[in-house]
Amino acid sequence: MKISSKMIQGAAVMTAELLKFAQPADAALSAYFRAQKTGSRERAFIAETAYAVLRRRRWLTRVAGADANPGQLALAALVRIQGLNQRQLEEALAPDEMAWVVALKAKPEPELTLAEQADLPDWLSERLLARMSAEDMLALARGLNRPAPLDLRVNELKAKREEVVAQLESEGIAAEPCRYAPAGVRLKTKPALARHPLYLEGKVEVQDEGSQLLGHLLAPKRGEMVVDFCAGAGGKTLLLGAMMRSTGRLYAFDVSDKRLAKLKPRVARSGLSNVHPACISGENDQRVKRLAGKIDRVLVDAPCSGLGTLRRNPDLKWRQTPESIAELTRKQTDILGSASRLVKPGGRLVYATCSILGEENEGIVDAFLAAHADFRRLSAAEVLAKQGIALDCGEDMRLLPHVHGTDGFYAAVLERAK
């Protein structure tokens, strides 16, 4: 691909904007591309370059120098990470910029701390090292610092996975079944899907394979009453509804009207008739209290740090802090306690996060079980095995990008005594 000065300038502007950390990176990129007239290849170049800086910010700063500006960090990413050579850049760069690139290429590798090698803030590196070896932390960091593939979930009410794979392949879109999720499809590229017939007809939704597995831990049955307690825009709600074959009653609770508004057109496309979205004021809303002890299955995909999604949201490692984690754990404790009151005797509760931190995961569950003798842990591996999913994850499910090829996820399966 020929690189223009406009593309370099766009990458520099976008890198500077993202490094302000004023809003989520994906929102900042969307706003920029709405305001600029750029082609799809230019947009991909700009986004990939700016995201490369977010992923490898600490290492790039050491390589380029502490005084390097955002534009120079973007150039360093192009040269030192994406492997562009001087000939590819010469027409796009001013003489002083090219001189800087030449000097950069001649620089030796700096000596790095462990946190710098992992491209993590010191506090996060320290917390991970308290739970794993340096070798394991670096392997995890390398997995988190790679771009994520694009995963789809086939809506089995409308299509079969093999049909979707065959259709995509016939259109030149390389696709294969996901390793674990029975309805998952992994694409080898990232085509625009918003106008694709498979998407418009409700046959597929974009959803990471790990996220799909959460539905199989809950394993709702036809005719049951089910609650997705933190539904958001409803990706897992749609999965649960399809698993229930559009029977029973599926409540999608969230505190945000805006997030739930995004669910409505998705439900319409999916063909589901059992989904009931409800905006609640909080975990103690009257609608929650009225359903106490009546629900067969409850999914709590808790608000969390999102540190398991760094492949997609690399800005989160620089935006989260020890203080924000402490606030999240308080919220997670309250939400799990409230959601548990919905579960009927013999019912199932799944607590999940997309975090890699123990205090957001087993720390929350262990404290909950210590305070709620009427709940017990089930083996996540056994729950999945009963559905033909071979995933040796032990008692609680822990997914990691460098091991499972998914985002980082945690989930515990809990059952209320009869």
Residues classed as catalytic = 354
- What is the spatial distance between Cα 52 and Cα 310, in angstroms, rounded to a whole number? 12
CB-based contacts of 303, cutoff 8 Å, min separation 6: 230, 328, 331, 332, 335
Counting Cα atoms < 13 Å in the Cβ hemisphere of 150 gives 13
Q: In three state form, how does the secondary structure of 307-363 look?
A: HHHCCCCCCHHHHCCHHHHHHHHHHHHHHHHHHHCCEEEEEEEEEEECCCCHHHCHH
SS3 content of the chain, % helix, strand, coil (to 5): 50, 15, 35
SS3 305: coil
Write out the DSSP string of 40-51.
Answer: HHHHHHHHHHHH
- What is the spatial distance between Cα 393 and Cα 390, in angstroms, rounded to a whole number? 9
Using CA atoms in the order 110, 115, 119, 123, what is the torsion angle rounded to 10 degrees? Answer: -140
Written as one letter, the residue type at 199 is: Y
Largest Cα span, the chain: 75
SS3 411: strand
Contact 311, 144 (CB under 8 A): yes
Using alpha carbons, list the distances in angstroms from residue 111 to 76, 108, 117, 308, 356: 17, 9, 9, 27, 27
The DSSP 8-state label assigned to residue 279 in this structure reads: E
Contact 316, 151 (CB under 8 A): no
Query: Is residue 295 classed exposed, middle or buried when 0-12, 13-18 and 19+ CB atoms within 10 A define those classes?
Result: buried
